[in-house]
Structure 1
Amino acid sequence: MEFKQGLSQRIVIAFVLMTLLVGGVFGLGIVKAVHVMEERLLSGVLRGDLDRLLLMDTVDDWRHKPQPDQQFYFSDGPGRFALPAYLQGLQPGFQEVFHGEHAYHAFVREVEGRKYVLLQDQSDFEDREQALYSVVLVGFIVSLGLAMLLGRLLARKVIEPVVRLARQVRQPDQLLALAPALALDYANDEVGQLAAAFDDALGMLRHALKREQLFTSDVSHELRTPLMVLASSCELLQENPSLDTRGRAQVQRVARASEEMRELVQTFLLLARDQGDAAAMAVQSTLAVVADELAQQWRQPMESKGLQFIYQQSVAGTQRYHAVFLRTVLGNLLRNAWHYTNSGQITLRVDDRGFTVEDTGVGIPESEREAMFQPFVRGGEQRGDGLGLGLSLVRRICVSQGWSVELTAMEPSGCRFQVVLASPPAGF
């Protein structure tokens, strides 16, 4: 069973329910006990009074013996001692009798075929009984209020270690290698065991982060050298006077591709390490410049596939962004549109708020759109050997930069990716 209330609310609810159950049972027990005691007590009193009346010799003696709040009747009795019709059907023993607006306790006895009835007005008993019931009800309500108050006070005290542990776990410093163990601050109880479990989990997470940092450092070191060799080789080839125009264009393509690889390596390293200082030193560029470069780069592949490429730019601002991140986001969206569009057109619209990429491809069902931004998730029309990381990378970059990306459908088919840019966050 899943509870949606907080832990403190559950404790308060448990206190109130326990009080409701215990107090309810106790109150009902009091009411039942009062009723049984009343019946036994009054039954004994009325039995004794009736026995004494039956020992009298004459009716004249009887009229003086009943108590002021008692009435005495018997079968064939003279005058006011005559048994009324509403009492003739009573069975022997103690019982309650209601007549009009009056209520009586009655004790009935049959002797030699004659029925004797002694009534006693129960108004006083009813008043005391109602007062007792009122006290029980008020006590029950007060106990519920006290249970709620006590539950709140104890809940804060009980969950205080849990709240403190949650606050400590959320601290970014806990991922540091020299962070102190959490379990040392807690007793060897359930909270202490939870803190020890967090220590184990954080230890494994620190180990994984350390291993990733070492891996990215190694990748950075190993890839930069061959990329530098490629760049320098391209520069030397471009200076070769015997190189014709076609060869020079191919060398420029290789140089541009190696530069893109270098920027992508830097992108992955920044996202993996979250190095704000290094990102702040990265190349900045305007949206118009990046969009023009990528539009020129992708126009030929799209048109060679038989697609119409529409590029509309109306950027008036000079806001500068992280060039590598911006190029990666826009390039992945254009590549995704080219990859999943067989016919029709691809449109890139750029303005001061951001950019929009539209295509007339296979589209993505609404139930799968959010999942498309997860790693290793590909569309239903899977093509090529991609791993499904492009849109995941787009989402990660947008989150890190404070940008937003939204996926909607095109009619009758296709997708629309809209990216709204914001000022780069502090540290980037």
Structure 2
Amino acid sequence: MPATGGRRRAPYRRRLRSRIIVSFVLLGFCLTTLFAFATNWARARVENQLVEDVMNRNIDEYARRFQFDPSRSPDLPVQQIRAFVYTPDKFDRVREERPEWAELPNGNHNVTGLEENGKAFSYKLAVRKTPEAWFFLAYDMTESIRVEQQLKRALFISVLVFSVLSLVLGWWSASKVMKPVSDLAARLRAYRGGTSDPEPLAPRFPDDEVGQLAQALDDYSARLTEVVQRDREFNADVSHELRTPLAVIRGATELLLTRPDLDPKVLQRLQRIQRAEQQCTDLIGSLLLLSRNERGQGNSNVWRVAEQLLEAHRAQLGGKPLELMLEGDRELVVDAPESALSVALGNLIGNAVKYSQEGSVRVNVTGDQVEVTDSGPGLSAEDAAKLFQRGYRGTHAGHSQGGGIGLSIVSRLCDLYGWQVSVRPGETRGVVATLKFSPAA
């Protein structure tokens, strides 16, 4: 399972510029649609009231004139209106010719249908029924319906036009509103931390919300720069102060190793001190590179480094029945100093030796990678998920020494050099750790 997986992508969110544009479009569309609906509703209501008022006044006037002189058919002063009056002797005729009229109660009614030639008709019918006569007043609504359809088309086009105008206005407003934010983001992206004293952002922006954000970023950058500077100075001081006693230890050990009359047990312990000093020196150098986020210079032969590491562990096995084997490509070279490669590969080999009580630890250098296979107790699912987290100690760690930061350092070195590290359970038992290198420059 890779421990140095790529950065997880954040869930997609619509950009702020797009949200502003969509808000303008929705606002323009909703307001225009609401206005169009209100306009059409008001027109229909007012027209209906006017028509009904005209029809009520005319049918009342028609009835009054009929009662005054039944033999005279009074003229109506309004166009588009047809009047019908039926005396009691013609009630049956109405029921036969216009049964829908005969069933209508007094009041105003909407009548629609198709004529014999298939042409649609629509009119508003006013009904007044008295024992002396039935009065019908028909107002032709065909022209009103045609005007209503034209108005609806005009309103629909208006909605589309104003929606497009809202889109253009939203695009322009979003560009104006987001330009300072985009400029601020561009300046932040352009800055890569090349100087210890970054250029302030706030003076380049007006004293508004974006300017306040730039000022807050400047304050944060100043505090962060101060912390990073202190951290670098601390790491450099610690590295220097630790290398001085290590150099003394190295010189004293080398001097003692030149003596020909050394006891074999003393010689073995001096060699162990020498290897421990070299491991500390490599670790300090790697940690200093990690703190500076800088790659060390140099090329390293993977076979030779692995061989040195295995030799160091063979001297520390004591009576443990464990076989350490090295096989594969002797010519693989990586673009990294031996100190960094020794720390990364040494942690993988060290863990394999530590947790394997018997059997073998096999280091196979092949292609552009190196595999470390052990015969230890294996790997649980929880260990596989958290193994490269800082401070995590596996379920098989028991009372062994270590703070659980070795594999975390390996993971950080892999991020620095573009390598990949992963661990997986072995085919039958144990663990297979793989360190894959990037091509040498």
User: How many Å apart are 1:243 and its aligned residue?
Assistant: 1.6
Residue 401 of structure 1 deviates from its aligned partner by: 1.0
How do 1:127-146 and structure 2 match up within 5 A? Answer: 127-146=146-165
Counterpart for residue 26 of structure 2? 17
Pair 1:410-2:419 in alignment: no
| Equivalent residue, structure 1, for 2:391 | 376
Cα offset, 1:82, TM superposition: 4.1
Please name the residue that 1:88 is paired with: 102
Amino acid of the residue matched to residue 50 of structure 1? I
Amino acid at match of 2:389: Q
Given the alignment of the two structures, is residue 71 of structure 1 paired with residue 82 of structure 2, yes or no? yes
| CA drift at 1:32 | 1.2
Q: Does the CA contact (< 8 Å) of 1:175 and 1:202 recur in 2?
A: no
Provide the secondary structure at the position in 2 that maps to 1:180: coil
> Matched residues in 1 for 2:409 and 2:160: separation?
59
CA offset digits 1:101-124 (Å, max 9, x no partner): 432112223456644221122121
Deviation of 1:219 after TM superposition, in Å, equals: 0.7
Task: Provide the secondary structure at the position in 2 that maps to 1:105.
Answer: strand
Which structure 2 residues correspond to residues 29-428 of structure 1 after superposition, within 5 A? 29-54=38-63, 55-56=65-66, 57-58=69-70, 61-62=73-74, 65=76, 69-76=80-87, 82=94, 84-100=98-114, 101-111=120-130, 114-172=133-191, 176-276=195-295, 279-280=296-297, 283-299=298-314, 304-318=319-333, 321-342=336-357, 345-366=360-381, 369-383=384-398, 384-411=400-427, 414-424=430-440
* C-alpha distance in structure 2 between counterparts of 1:81 and 1:70, whole Å: 22
Aligned partner of residue 407 in structure 1, secondary structure: strand
C-alpha distance after superposition, 1:164-186 (max 9, x if no partner): 22222334455744323222222
Partner Cα separation in structure 2 for residue 195 and residue 212 of structure 1:
25
1 or 2 for the larger relative contact order (CA 8 Å, sep ≥6)? Answer: 2
Q: 1:306 to 1:25 in 2, by over 3 A?
A: farther
* Partner Cα distance (1:365, 1:108) in 2: 91
- 1-side partners of 2:50 and 2:420: how far apart? 82
Q: Which residue of 2 aligns with 1:28?
A: 37
Give yes or no for contact 1:73–1:81 (8 Å, CA) kept in 2. no
Within 1, Cα distance between the matches of 2:422 and 2:287?
Answer: 22
Could you state the TM-score of these two structures normalised by the residue count of structure 2? 0.84
Asked if the contact 2:94/2:101 (under 8 Å) is kept, the reply is no
Tell whether the 8 Å contact from 2:383 to 2:395 is kept in structure 1 after alignment: no
Query: What's the CA shift for 1:6?
Result: 1.2
Gaps of 5+ in 2: 1-10, 115-119
For the 8 Å contact 1:316–1:352, the answer to whether it is kept is: no
Alignment partners' CA distance in 1, 2:38 and 2:314? 87
Amino acid aligned to 2:351: N
Q: CA deviation at 1:39?
A: 0.5
| Number of equivalences | 419
Amino acid at match of 2:82: Q
* C-alpha distance in structure 1 between counterparts of 2:164 and 2:352, whole Å: 64
In structure 2, what is the Cα distance between the partners aligned to 1:193 and 1:46? 69
Does the C-alpha gap of structure 1 residues 275 and 370 become closer, same or farther in structure 2, counting only changes over 3 Å? same
Moved more, 4-13 or 363-372: 363-372
1:175 and 1:201 mapped to 2: Cα distance?
17
TM-score by length of 1: 0.87
> What RMSD in Å do the two structures reach over aligned CA positions?
3.0
- The one-letter code sitting in structure 2 at the alignment partner of 1:353 is D
